[in-house]
Amino acid sequence: MEPVQRWWEHAVGYEIYIRSFADGTGDGIGDFPGMLDRLEHLAWLGVDIIWVTPFYASPMRDWGYDVADYTAIDPTYGSLDDFDAVVARAHELGMRVLIDIVPNHTSDQHQWFREALKGPDNPYRDHYIWRDAPADGSLPNNWVGYFGGPTWTLDEASGQYYLHLFLPEQPDLNWRNPAVLDAFDDILRFWLDRGVDGFRVDVAQAMVKDAELRSNPQIAPSDESMFRWDQWNAFEHRHDILQPESVDIFRRWNRIAEEYDALLLGETYDLVQMDKLDRLVSGGDAIHVGFWFGAMHMEWNAEQIRAAFDLPLTNISAGLGWAQDSHDEHRSVTRFGGGDLGRQRALSLTVLLMGLPGLPFLYQGQELGLESGVIPPEAKLDPVGDDDPNSGRDGTRTPIPWEPGPGMGFTDAASTWLPFGGRTDADTVLVQRELPSSSLHVHRELLAVRKGLGEIATEPLKWIADVAGDLVAFRRGAIAFVANVGDEPTELPVDGTVLFRSGDGSGATLAADEAAIVRIG
């Protein structure tokens, strides 16, 4: 019997960073009423799934990824009724809704942690990870956080340290405690019963820690003055992430998700430990789809692009998600040179991602060809990064420009939570809707072409051999996806009908930085 194709297996997703998508209440911050008014844009674009970043009650030290209550909407974003209206309207428009669940850590303002701080005998103490302060004044181990720096903060009242892989205000949960497992079962069901179609699982790779909290092997020099990823990469992350017990949690969640035909989409952020990632996603009984982030960490050249695709495709047997942009990294247009050059390259990469086996996602504004916004020093809000405001994540989180005017259609307020970052009228949805050659229309055409290629859903990827060094070319059945990463025009390596092209090449010629989809034969 042929396996049943799940609803996400030939879909295209779209990430909504809620604070910057659309403001419906006039306070300069995106919210659910604003989102409701803009959902038709996504349906028109051709999106199948929307993923909404955290909207839970939060002190906003990390803009919602520090959750104070997993079943409450932060008033900044509206109410449960507003949330329900968005889910209902998305479903009417034929789109599924994923919400971010943040299970690695809570806010330090969550009631569980407030109780835990009352002392070692409190029933909630074991919801978190604590260790006695070593007598020699050192930290419990040598782990570094995703934001750089040590991962331990001293609770002076008890003389114990608590663990946090992110900010000190984001204490890590103890997933070896059955009470935490039970609590999240209820949280998942709360939202599934409200009609959500699944969850994007934040920090899915790091929830369970080594039972003994052993130090990681250090493989390069590291100090707190270094860039956060350089600090992170100075260690072999043997004991802090990708522990084998994580699979058991996701198998438990999978059983709940199956009751609702829901998707578990994991933020499986590791580019090295492929065997451990494979265990999380490839059995079909744990995480359904795990994001692969290699496309966010590569240069614009054929060798690195092929490697960014081939590594996961070779080592992970199923369940891959693809993204080149997100709320955590500079936009690909900026990374690939900025301006028209960066836009052309970013679009060509999107063409390739649409051909890979798995679930591709766009990040809001990607369809507009947006560069990272430029943030003045006095407007910096991201807790990550140094004194340069553009070293952090603010630039990729600036509000979406919907139409020309003082609030760019995003808000009626006099100011926004983050500046627009230098957007122009040409960046807006309204102007691009009226220009058939705009980035918006080209992305819409690309999604429509891909939607019409349902035949590739069950076809494996095969690299096209004997291509020039600046070509990236693969096929899924009779459909080829080809990109010219070089500076000079080149010939397509296959004969057939061109279904889509991202640039100004013609016939069998690919222009520099152009990609095409070709039906072979």
> Has 382 been annotated as catalytic?
no
Sole residue written with tokens 């952020």:
269
CB distance 56 to 68 below 8 Å: yes
Nearest by Cα to 308 from 353, 347, 275:
353
Dist. CA 324–CA 369, nearest whole Å = 13
Catalytic residue of the set 2, 259, 378, 387? 259
Q: Which of 168, 171, 173, 174 is nearest to 148 (CA)?
A: 168
What does the block give as tokens for 392?
């952090």
Neighbours of 2 (CB within 10 A): 5
For 404, how many CA atoms within 13 A lie in the half-sphere containing its CB? 7
Catalytic residue among 31, 66, 202, 371: 202
Contacts (Cβ under 8 Å, ≥6 apart) of 351? 446, 481, 483, 500, 502, 515, 516, 517
DSSP type of residue 201: E
Instruction: Using alpha carbons, select from 343, 367, 499, 360 the residue that is nearest to residue 432.
Output: 367
Q: Which residues pair with 38 in a beta bridge?
A: none
Q: Is the Cβ–Cβ distance between 130 and 124 less than 8 Å?
A: no
245 is catalytic: no
* Catalytic annotation, residues: 202, 259
